[in-house]
Every structure is written in C-alpha cells, then in structure tokens.
Amino acid sequence: MKKETINIFIPATVSNVACGFDIMGFPLDNPGDKMSFLMIPEKEVRITSITGADDIPTDPEKNVAGIVAEKMLKAAGFPFGVEITIHKGISPGSGIGSSGASSAGAAYGINRLTGDRWPVRELISFAMEGERYASGTAHADNVAPALYGGFVLIRSYDPMDIVSIQPPEELYATVIHPMIEVKTAYSRGIMKKNVTLHDAVTQWGNVAGLVAGLLMKDYDLIGRSMVDVIAEPVRAMLIPGFDDLKQAAMNAGALGCSISGSGPSVFALSRGQKTAEKVAEAFSETYAPMGIEFEVYVSGISLSGICETDS
C-alpha cells in the first residue's frame, strides 16, 4: 500500500564480523539513525534537515541518501519527489555503518513510498550505490543486514545472493566506539591486494566455521571462528589500544573480538547479556586512561533491521 509519509529507524550494523570481510554483517538493537520521507509533487529530491552530526551535506548529489533516492525515483520514472530529514544516531566514520544506514534507509523509505515496487534484494543494489559514493566500493555487508535483519552472508555479489541466518537467542554484542574518525576509503586503501594461500585457506575455514556455529547455535565454534588473518592485522594499527581492548574482552568472557567494519569501533560477541555487560566494563576500564572519549553499547542482534516508527 502506497504511503505519503514514512518514518523509520535504521540500526547500526557490524560488518565483516572478523573473518567475513565484505560478506558478513549483523544489525544492532542500538544505536541507530532516524529518517523521515515526505512525498512532494515536485519531481526532485530534497534533504531538508540533518541533525546529530556535522559536515554532512544536504545537497542530494553529495549525500548517500540523496544519491540512492534519486536513482530509485529515476528508475520509477519520477512519479513524485521526496523531502528527506535525517537524524544521525550513528557517527560518521565510526565503523558501525553510518553511510550504510543512510543508504539502506533511503532505499527502504523510497520503496515504501512507491508501494513496495522492489523486493529487498533489489533494494540492496540501490543502497550499495550510496556505499560506492561514500567509500569507493559498492559493498553490501552493512546495507544488507540493515534491510534484512539478523545475520547475513553475502554469498555472491554477481549475481546478488544473500543468505539470511537466524542468530542464537543468547548472542549479544558489545561495541566500543572511540571518538576518532577512520575514513572507510582510507581503511580500505591500506588493505593488501594479495594474500597468501595459507591465509586464504585459514580465512575460508573461519568463515565456514562461523556460519556453521551460528546455524548450530554452537557458541564455542562461533568464538573459535572469529579470527581474521587478512583485514584485522592491517587495520589494527588505526585503532589506539586495539590489542588491549581485545585481550580485555576475552578476559571478561567474550566469545571473540575484532574490528567493526573499517574501525575505529571494536566489537565483541558474548553468550548472554551479563557477559556482554562485563565486556562493556572491561572495554571502559581499558580505554578510560587513554584520554580518548568513547561510547560503549551493549545490544542484542536486531532481527528486524529497519523498522517503521510513528515519528
């Protein structure tokens, strides 16, 4: 059913999930962005307000939400225009899917305004164009979890093939966001272009183990599989105190710990909320003496992803 106004909440997302570079991700219950969409008669995209973050352009041709909205309305023959407002609860450059939230949110909102013209799989392709503008690469490991909810595995990009995985009920995430910015484009740029066969085989085994652990609800296997021998060793140098954070999380009982997306956020997975809260305390105690402001979140895995709200 076509609507004239849409209000949505878009959750932050953890991507890569240690070993799953560009192919795995999941949404958090919190934090998240809010977006509103208003249908207008003028056949154009307007971003009328952005709150919660500085230096994000309202020019729709320089904003990932605007880019996605314009592509979708153009594909639909511009049956109407739209005004978009954005409240950022996810800091840009945080590593928990800020650009992905705006991109996926725009795809979801425009689709609802047009009467659900596209299936979710096609929404991902539109949303990836926002990620392409933000980072130079059209990756889906933030936008797909936001749109699907739960864990997702991107088996293939061409053709797009998304596998949705129901996470174990007791699985919780703890995320620490140091208040420094790591540009996704830079973090991707320092990655090695080639890896050894040994590292590739190790990574493949861990990805397979993580998927099997999630499906079997085998928490120990999940933890054993959260080992990244490709991205984490390179990107860890961008995050002050990363090794100490990881050790603190493991000492507090986490199943595993790694970098969220391109960083600087660091996440840990735990069995049960109490353990996740202990990890949060360990993160805070580790980072407090460093003189860098930070935020810590304890969250379940969002099963819904993006959802509509009253306001």
CA angle 193, 164, 13 (to 5 degrees): 60
Classify 4 in phi/psi space as left (phi over 0), alpha (psi -120 to 50) or beta: alpha
Set 13, 131, 232, 275: catalytic member: 131
Of the chain, the end-to-end C-alpha distance in Å amounts to: 19
| Element at 240 (helix H, strand E) | none
Q: How far apart are CA 162 and CA 27, in angstroms?
A: 15
Q: How many residues does the chain have?
A: 311
Tokens 């020019």 belong to residue:
59
User: Is the peptide bond prior to 264 cis by the omega test (within 30 degrees of 0)?
Assistant: yes
Q: How far apart are CA 90 and CA 62, in angstroms?
A: 18
**Quick one: CA dihedral 27, 29, 34, 38, positive or negative?**
positive
Set 13, 184, 275, 286: catalytic member: 184
User: By the 8 A CB rule, do 107 and 68 touch?
Assistant: yes
184 part of the active site? yes
58 part of the active site? no
Q: Kind of pairing, strands 81-87 and 45-51? A: parallel
269 CB burial (10 A radius; 0-12, 13-18, 19+)? buried
Give me 147's structure tokens.
């749109």
Q: How far apart are CA 164 and CA 237, in angstroms?
A: 32
CA of 66: how far to CAs of 31, 62, 101, 130, 216, in Å? 22, 7, 13, 8, 40
Which residue type occupies 239? I
User: By the 8 A CB rule, do 185 and 140 touch?
Assistant: no
Active site members: 131, 184
